[in-house]
Amino acid sequence: MTVSKAAEKSAEKPADTAKGRKDAAEVQGQGAGEALQLGELSEQLGYVLKRAQLKVFENFLRCMASLQLTPAQFSVLLLVEKNPGRNQTEIASTLGILRPNFVAMLDNLESRDLCARIRSTNDRRSHILVLTDKGKAVLARAKKLVATKHEARLNELLGQANREALIAMLAKVASEF
Amino acid sequence: MTVSKAAEKSAEKPADTAKGRKDAAEVQGQGAGEALQLGELSEQLGYVLKRAQLKVFENFLRCMASLQLTPAQFSVLLLVEKNPGRNQTEIASTLGILRPNFVAMLDNLESRDLCARIRSTNDRRSHILVLTDKGKAVLARAKKLVATKHEARLNELLGQANREALIAMLAKVASEF
DNA sequence: GATATTTGATATGGTCCATAACAATTATCA
DNA sequence: TGATAATTGTTATGGACCATATCAAATATC
């Protein structure tokens, strides 16, 4: 079919009525080529938060290019290292990852020999998670890259004190908003 | 096929070797039932940024439930109001939305009679964007909801000064990181 | 011991994001 | 001028991420 949804909808909009053309005339030639005004957008918490998050993730991926670790994968490795012997449900839920979606993530990390699922002897339903030796080594290198290339960038942008204040406020928003 | 990818991969992991069982034994029974330690995760910029962003968007959606506006839709309305007479490419790129993905968004807003596409007389390829009267009214109500329910929540959580400092730092990160 | 719950897993659908391609229109320039 | 390139809105499509329902195996509950 060649009739688009937009075309169907346009049947009920006043774009080609007399009023539509008048409105168009009022507006033609406004600020052609000039930069757009962000206006209240630049003070919207959600907007600036999302933009900042995208930039930070982008930078993180560049810093981690040699190790091929995403922010989510890095967080899993960090959490498993700090809490060895926990099962998938515990690690996933702590990170806000749903159990079904955590399976493929672990498949990936395990296939790269970064972590391992070990059948628990206490509860043979669950898989205990541990970092492999390679996983520990990769995580150590990842931490150094994050510290020297990623966090350092934030420090030189905001300064040490502001950087800590920013993270503290974000943590508060994340937990109490 | 019933053989999963995970099962294939598990052939090369040492879960059931002597070493595997020894590792498991070292780790069994650690902190069962206790809360997990976040460790360095709670100081990771990307982690806390993402969690905060999810919470803020969630709260935004609740505040806007009566108007059925997403953060992205709200940002489009704000930007079109501030910059009437711009075309789709200009509005979309300012918001970091790719032109193809902006089409469906506008189809939605236009079908709800919140904004209108008007064929430009200067360049008949492009569509000038304008808010409808209903769009202006809805946006006005949305702004009030955001101010009284959304931003106010942030104020009582951080205080006015910290709220402004947070947004300023996020803006800096978003633009210079 | 029958029933309910938990765990890891699969299947599946939705939303968002990114790229390629196309028709209509406009810009470029030989 | 006319052929070619670039732009605009659009469609189609695929990937990444997120959410729900469902299942078998194992465990808990009664």
Q: What is the ipTM of this complex?
A: 0.85
- Residue B50 to chain A, least CA–CA distance (Å): 6
Angle subtended at Cα B99 by Cα B93 and Cα B103, rounded to the nearest 5 degrees: 125
Instruction: Tell me the per-residue pLDDT of A143-171, one tens digit each, with 9 for 90 and over.
Output: 999 999 999 999 999 999 999 999 999 99
Instruction: Give B-chain residues touching A162 at CB under 8 angstroms.
Output: 169
Whether residue B116 and residue A48 make contact (CB cut-off 8 A), yes or no, is no
pLDDT band at B11 (very low <50, low <70, confident <90, very high): very low
Please tell me the predicted confidence (pLDDT) of residue A31.
61
Please tell me the predicted confidence (pLDDT) of residue A17.
36
If you average pLDDT over residues B93-110, what whole number do you get? 98
With 0-12 / 13-18 / 19 or more C-beta atoms within 10 angstroms meaning exposed / middle / buried, residue B75 is buried
Side chain identity, residue B151: E
- Is the CB of B20 inside 8 Å of chain A's CB atoms? yes
Question: What is the distance between the alpha carbons of residues A25 and B128, in angstroms, rounded to a whole number?
Answer: 11
Side chain identity, residue B62: R
Higher pLDDT, B152 or B29: B152
Instruction: Give A-chain residues touching B128 at CB under 8 angstroms.
Output: 24, 27-28
Q: Which residues contact A123 (CB under 8 A, 6 or more apart)?
A: A87
> What is the gyration radius of the CA atoms in chain B, in angstroms?
25
Q: Any idea which nucleotide's C1' is nearest the CA of A89?
A: C7
Sign of the dihedral defined by the CA atoms of residues B37, B41, B43, B47, in that order: negative
Please give the domain boundaries of chain B with CATH numbers for all domains.
Answer: 45-176 (1.10.10.10)
Higher pLDDT, A115 or A20: A115
A33 pLDDT above the threshold of 70:
no
Question: In the structure, how far is the CA atom of residue B102 from the C1' atom of nucleotide D9, in angstroms?
Answer: 10
Instruction: Give B-chain residues touching A157 at CB under 8 angstroms.
Output: 172-173, 176-177
Residue B98 CB coordination number (10 Å): 9
Question: What is the distance between the alpha carbons of residues A50 and B56, in angstroms, rounded to a whole number?
Answer: 10
Beta bridge partners of B128: B87, B118
Side chain identity, residue A112: R
Instruction: Tell me the per-residue pLDDT of B35-58, one tens digit each, with 9 for 90 and over.
Output: 999 999 999 999 999 999 999 999
If you average pLDDT over residues B80-89, what whole number do you get? 97
- Residue A124 to chain B, least CA–CA distance (Å): 12
Name the residue among B82, B122, B166 with its Cβ closest to that of A28: B122
Question: What is the distance between the alpha carbons of residues B84 and A39, in angstroms, rounded to a whole number?
Answer: 13
User: What is the full DSSP assignment across B88-101?
Assistant: HHHHHHHTT--HHH
- In this complex, which residue's CA is closest to the C1' atom of nucleotide C18? B98
B31 pLDDT above the threshold of 80:
no
Please tell me the predicted confidence (pLDDT) of residue A147.
96
Residues comprising chain A, all counted: 177
With 0-12 / 13-18 / 19 or more C-beta atoms within 10 angstroms meaning exposed / middle / buried, residue B100 is exposed
Whether residue A82 and residue B55 make contact (CB cut-off 8 A), yes or no, is no
Distance from the Cα of residue B76 to its chain's centroid: 14
- In this complex, which residue's CA is closest to the C1' atom of nucleotide D25? A125
